[in-house]
Amino acid sequence: MSKSTDNLWAAFAGESQANRKYTAFSRKADDQGYVQAAKLFRAAAAAETVHALSHFKALDGVSETADNIRAAIAGEDHEAEVMYPEFIATAEAEGEKKALTTFKWAFEVEKTHRTLFQSMLENLDSEETFDYYVCPICGHTHERNAPDKCPVCGASGDRFERIS
């Protein structure tokens, strides 16, 4: 791999993280009534997304949809089978309760994502359409309708965000 390729991957990761960080900052600014600061954070987050996608495109990171789904399944497998179990064990050993909670939630949700992606791959040519619902607390993703209660974190189903 060339140094430029390494740099593209590093830039993609950094820009992706900046987007998420600025999104979190915008929510906090909104909560505190700083409307203009929230708008600036959202604008910067959008710009960071442009940068990240540009870097990812330069890496030829986007393929045909079926291949992209296979890549997503592989990523979810890694998170559910390797990454989060290791992170959970470390957080338990260190007594880091906040980290443990967020790792456990993500671990459960990644397994659901893997299942949803696998189903999508098997039914890619289906003409059936439906929405997804995402828990704003843990990220649990549910198809067709929101559950009455989140099976991962227990949040009320009426809090789920509809993704169309």
Do residues 152 and 142 lie in contact, with contact meaning Cβ atoms separated by under 8 Å? no
What pLDDT is recorded for position 1?
A: 76
- State mean pLDDT over 146-163: 95
The pTM of the full predicted model, rounded to 2 decimals, is: 0.86
Going from the N-terminus, what domains does the chain have, and what CATH number goes with each?
3-58 (1.20.1260.10), 63-125 (1.20.1260.10), 129-164 (2.20.28.10)
139, amino acid identity: G
> Please, where are the H alpha helices in the chain?
3-31, 35-58, 65-78, 84-94, 97-122
Residue pLDDT, tens place only, 50-106:
999 999 999 999 999 999 999 999 999 999 999 999 999 999 999 999 999 999 999
Beta bridge partners of 156: 149
- Would you say residue 18 has pLDDT above 90? yes
Q: Which residue's structure tokens are 């960071």?
A: 48
What pLDDT is recorded for position 122?
A: 93
* CA–CA gap between residue 34 and residue 86 (Å, rounded): 39
Residue pLDDT, tens place only, 113-148:
999 999 999 999 988 999 999 999 999 999 999 999
